[in-house]
Structure 1
Amino acid sequence: MAGDDERATGPAPMQGGGFYNDHAQHQAKGGAHGLPLIDRAFEGMALHAPVTLADYGSATGRNSLVPMGLALGHVRRRLGPDVPVSVVHTDQPGNDFSALFALLRDDPESYLRRDARAFASAVGRTFHEQVLPDASVDFGWCSFAAHWMSRAPVMPAGHVWPRQAAPEVRAAFAAQAAADWEAFLAARARELKPGGALVVVQPSLPEDEPTTFPVLMAWVEAELDAMALGGMLTKDERGRMTILVFERTAADARSPFADGAFAGLTLVAEEAREMPDPFWPAYGLDGDAAALAEKHLGFFRAPFLPSLLAALDPGRDGAFREAFTAGLMEALGRRMRAAPQPLLSPMVILTGLYRKAGADPHVGAEKPAASATGTP
């Protein structure tokens, strides 16, 4: 587990052992909004061997199979079956890469099982910096990852969810999120080949909403406070329990391109589309509050619980960590069963296609993006 110094520098890795893969349906549904942009990304792209496809923020890989498979299909249609293609999955060093490689080897939907000339590898480094060589990447994909921050600008932040912190703290997180976004884009600009393209899908907010999870994160905050008051958590542990996520609005994501290209990238297309809580429709049919709570708990636990566990003192043993997890999940489950409601809302899925300058001179230049909104 991360110590204090590690915790201050970035988010904890997603839960491993296949748990994230099994509880990331919401992220998969959101990421699907960006799949049509993969077709557009390859329009007019001058592909030449060697070809590299990059998956930024892969976690343990389940939600990477479809987009990487689609991108690989474009390469095959253009260059044929024999050209070697490198598929590089990147995530922070503590990611469960063993689960990723097991999935790529065993899952029936894995691109490796369908393409003998595709070669998978991984890089353990944060995508807030450059992770691949200059001008080496043809196509990049990043889904439900770019909203994670590189560091906490204020600690303790005063709330488990930065957008629900006090105004001055929220402003500091907003500034850090803006700097992280520019660093992410600048690093991808260095890595992309001239004419290469990047698709980013990220959870966003309607411009008039303060936070994505107003009820869920308020409940988490209350239960952590109760644990601290009861003596289970120390003051320092409780103070470190902030999930390093800051959702951007469409305007936030567009800001680096206010004067045109940014770091050599052009914003080619973007869309902001509302997505309702994916678990709520089933409850409307069966009225099963326990089943709804189980789904919401799985969603919360897979990406966010590791951040809370990483905030515990390094001396906390496995038994304590299991007791903390069980206590928090049971308390949240009681709240969810007592008051069934959509919890993963309001959410907007923001998709963007970015291209590096230097496209094939024989292909007409693409026009800058015109924003679009809609509902599913």
Structure 2
Amino acid sequence: MSDGVIPTRAAMEGDGYYNRHSAMQAAGNSAALSLWQSAANSVAFGDESLVIVDYGSSQGKNSMDPIAIAIQALRARAGSERFVEVIHTDLPSNDFTSLFTALENEPQSYMRGAEGIFPSAVGRSYYEALLPPGRVHLGWNSWTMQWMSQHPIDIPDHIFGLHSKFEKVHDSLLQQQARDWRLFLERRAVELRADGRLLCLFPGRPEEKVGWEWLTSELWLALLDMKDNGLLSGDDLLHINIPTAPRKLASIRAPFATESGQFAGLRIEHAEILPGPDLHWDAFERTGDAFPLARGWTGMMRAFSGPTVAAALTGKPDRAALVDELFRRLETRLVSNPQRHEHFVAVVLLHKVS
């Protein structure tokens, strides 16, 4: 890989599992859709084919509505016959089969009844160059920028670093996030056309909170239970880390603290942090039944973190069974301790101005 960046996370849980267990992410996307439509309504273009890139697509289901909105908005201006290329990108290990199956079969697929739409995929980390310079009119990027390009430090007291009590851990994560953000912006700035737009949505962090305390702590406690039962070692726990963290507005804006307000030819048009959705709490308060809540959040947690846990257990002949046991224990813990899931979403719209 270029620039010495080595990916340390696996793709999302395969065989369509992420598509079936990412309703929270889909609900969070709604916070950005009006802004996304405005971007599609304002981006400049000529007679060329229109290019939309879905950066970090995973298995595609949650990309259908945003891409459909962009296609409709662009063709309303360019004409219904204008060719549109849609390029989905993710890691080489991503479940692209489920993505193309969703394009074919999902009721909300942007390909339904469409002509002149040409989807394709790139299997490569977006910390690398993915496309030729000046190719992209619109970029959509949701629920990926919390992932760091590298695992910067082992965490002795949690599975998620920002919940560690050690300042050294926090400092390493924040430094890695800053490097990653700048590198991501530089790569995308090259690929965007002049006047192109890139919308990013990812876990955010208000000044006074981190978010995700309940779910991440219960997952860590489930791991400690497995260690106490002799299923995992202390060394296993040291290396089972999910290299993700939310960002504050200050860190999002930091590269743009220049005289021109630009970084790599990009300018921030919009940036805010909003409360994230809880899809299960209202139903739990109505029924008092914690099992649907626990199943829902366990599925979501496994969808994004299960493969990374499994990768950390490489070499153990029973690692698949260990991952199953971890999430079985997580579900049991959530049933016995139901809480509202508090988290926050950052929405950032970037404009290629030069």
Q: TM-score range by the shorter chain?
A: over 0.9
1: distance between equivalents of 2:335 and 2:249? 34
Residue 132 of structure 1 corresponds to 131
1: distance between equivalents of 2:6 and 2:161? 14
Helix, strand or coil at the partner of 1:252: helix
Q: Which segments of structure 1 move beyond 4 Å, counting only runs of 4 or more?
A: none
1: distance between equivalents of 2:236 and 2:305? 16
1:158 CA drift (Å): 4.4
- Whether the 8 Å contact between 2:13 and 2:304 is mirrored in structure 1 is yes
2: distance between equivalents of 1:54 and 1:274? 26
Residue 200 of structure 1 corresponds to 200
The equivalent position to 1:45 in structure 2, one of 18, 43, 46, is: 43
1: distance between equivalents of 2:222 and 2:42? 53
The equivalent position to 2:351 in structure 1, one of 349, 355, 369, is: 355
5 Å-filtered alignment, 1:109-148, equals 109-148=108-147
1:156 CA drift (Å): 4.9
1:47 CA drift (Å): 1.5
Question: What TM-score results when the alignment is normalised by the length of structure 1?
Answer: 0.88
Residue 79 of structure 1 corresponds to 78
Helix, strand or coil at the partner of 1:329: helix
Helix, strand or coil at the partner of 1:131: coil
- Whether the 8 Å contact between 2:203 and 2:245 is mirrored in structure 1 is no
Deviations 1:60-106 (A, max 9, x none): 00100000001111221122122221100000111000110111111
Residue 282 of structure 1 corresponds to 283
CA separation of 1:337/1:158 partners in 2, compared to 1, >3 Å: closer, same or farther?
Answer: closer
Residue 178 of structure 1 corresponds to 178
- Whether the 8 Å contact between 1:157 and 1:169 is mirrored in structure 2 is no
1: distance between equivalents of 2:156 and 2:133? 36
2: distance between equivalents of 1:91 and 1:222? 31
1: distance between equivalents of 2:348 and 2:93? 28
Residue 65, structure 1, aligned to residue 61, structure 2: no
Deviations 1:81-137 (A, max 9, x none): 222211000001110001101111111211112321000000011112221111000
2: distance between equivalents of 1:300 and 1:137? 32
- Whether the 8 Å contact between 1:53 and 1:139 is mirrored in structure 2 is yes
What letter is aligned with 1:54?
V
2: distance between equivalents of 1:153 and 1:8? 11
- Whether the 8 Å contact between 1:157 and 1:242 is mirrored in structure 2 is no
1:235 CA drift (Å): 4.1
Q: Percent identity?
A: 35
What letter is aligned with 1:223?
A
2: distance between equivalents of 1:35 and 1:16? 26
What letter is aligned with 2:202?
Q
Residue 99 of structure 1 corresponds to 98
5 Å-filtered alignment, 1:151-170, equals 151-156=150-155, 158-165=157-164, 166-170=166-170
1: distance between equivalents of 2:127 and 2:158? 24
1:251 CA drift (Å): 1.6
1:147 CA drift (Å): 1.1
1:276 CA drift (Å): 4.3
Once the two structures are overlaid, the 10-residue window that deviates more, 61-70 or 323-332, is 323-332
What letter is aligned with 2:86?
V
1:170 CA drift (Å): 1.2
Residue 9 of structure 2 corresponds to 11
CA separation of 1:232/1:154 partners in 2, compared to 1, >3 Å: closer, same or farther?
Answer: same
2: distance between equivalents of 1:204 and 1:54? 22
Residue 371 of structure 1 corresponds to none
1: distance between equivalents of 2:55 and 2:62? 12
Residue 28 of structure 1 corresponds to 26
Once the two structures are overlaid, the 10-residue window that deviates more, 73-82 or 27-36, is 73-82
What letter is aligned with 2:96?
F
What letter is aligned with 2:190?
R
Structure 1, gaps ≥5 residues long: 1-6, 359-376
Helix, strand or coil at the partner of 2:65: helix
- Whether the 8 Å contact between 2:134 and 2:190 is mirrored in structure 1 is yes
Residue 188 of structure 1 corresponds to 188
